[in-house]
Amino acid sequence: MNQLIQSLVDALSAGATLGLAALAIGLVFGVIRLANFAQGEIITASGYSIIFTWQLGWYVAIPIAILIGVILSLLMELGVFSRMRTATPATLLVASFGLSFLLQRVYELLFSNNVQTAPVAPELAQSVDVGGIRIQLLSVATIVIAGVLLFALIQFLNKSIWGLQLQAAAADFRTARLVGIPASRVIGLSFALSGILAAAVAFVSTVQTGAVGPTFGVPIVILALIGAVIGGIDKIYGALAGGFLVGFATSMLASWLPSDMSNFRDAYVFLLVIIVLIIRPSGLLVSGGTVRT
C-alpha cells in the first residue's frame, strides 16, 4: 500500500513534468503546425543557466533561466521557423530536428561533452516521512509547481485578451487572422510561453539530476512530443494530457515492472504509443476528425 502511494506520487510528478513539456510543444503546434523537437534544446539552455547561476541564489537563477528560455525560443522562431511559414508539418519537424542537432553540437563546443554539475536546491532532494510513507520532496514540489503554472496559464488563456487570441489562433489560425487577430503577436506569444514552460521543466529536472549535458533535453522532448501527439497535439489540453499520460505510464512501469524486464520499460511505452496512434490517430482526447495539416 505504502509502495503504491509512493509510486503514485512519483508517477504524478513525472507526468506533471512531461505534461508541461508537451504543453509547450502543443501551444506552438496549435498556432503554426510546428512540432518543435528543438524544444529540448531550450530546456537544455535553461538547465545550463540554472546550473551556472544557482550559487547566486534561486531568486537570480530562476528568472535568468526563464529569460534564457524565452529568448532562445523567440530566436528560433525569428531565425528559422518564421521563414518557413509555407512548409508542411513534416518538413517543419525535420527542420526542428536539424536545429536540435545543431544546438546540441554548439553546447558541446561551448560547455564540452561532459556534464556540468551543481547541487540545485538540495533541500528538495530529501525525502520526508508522512505517516510511514517516504515521499520525495521534489515530487511534491514538481506537482505543486506544475499546478501553479497550469492555473496561471489557464487564467491567462481564458481571462486575458492575448490569451483568448492565442486560443482562437490555435483553434483555427486562418479564421483568427481574418477577424483581425495579429498573427505575429500570437505566434511570438506561443513561443514565449513555451520558453517559460521549458524553464520550469529544466528546473525540476536539474534538481533531480544536478547535472546538465549537451543532450539533457532530448529524452524529455522525445517523450513529450510522443505524448503530445497521442493526446492530440492539435488541442492545447490534449497535448498536456498526453504528455502527462506518457510520464505517468513510464514512471509506473519503472516502479512495477519486474526488474529483469525494467530495461524494456521504454519499449513498452513506445509500443503503447503505436497502438494508441493506430486506434486514435488524431489523439486520445480529440473527438473524431483528423489533425489539420
DSSP 115: P
CA distance 242 to 227: 4
| Cβ distance to other proteins smaller for residue 94 or 152 | 94
Distance in Å, CB of 147 to other proteins, minimum: 28
- The DSSP string of 275-291 is HHHHH-TT-TTS-SS--
Distance in Å, CB of 103 to other proteins, minimum: 8
Residue 65 makes CB contacts below 8 A (sequence gap 6+) with 46, 47, 49, 50, 53, 199, 202, 203
What residues are paired with 116 via a beta bridge? 212
Q: Which residues contribute to the site for other proteins (CB under 8 A)?
A: 35, 80, 83-84, 87-91, 93-95, 97-99, 101-102, 105-106, 108-109, 218, 222, 225-226, 229-230, 233, 263-264, 266-267, 270-271, 273-274, 277-278, 281-282, 290-291, 293
With both helix axes pointing from N to C terminus, report the angle between 218-231 and 2-32 in degrees, rounded to the nearest 10.
Answer: 80
| Cβ distance to other proteins smaller for residue 108 or 156 | 108
Distance in Å, CB of 180 to other proteins, minimum: 29
| Cβ distance to other proteins smaller for residue 95 or 204 | 95
DSSP H/E element including 128: strand 127-130
| Cβ distance to other proteins smaller for residue 146 or 283 | 283
Distance in Å, CB of 24 to other proteins, minimum: 16
State the cell numbers at 115.
556534464
State the cell numbers at 223.
517523450
Nearest to 195 by CA among 55, 38, 60: 38
CA dihedral sign, ordered 38, 42, 45, 47: negative
Distance in Å, CB of 266 to other proteins, minimum: 6
| Cβ distance to other proteins smaller for residue 113 or 175 | 113
Distance in Å, CB of 221 to other proteins, minimum: 11
CA distance 216 to 235: 27
| Cβ distance to other proteins smaller for residue 95 or 249 | 95
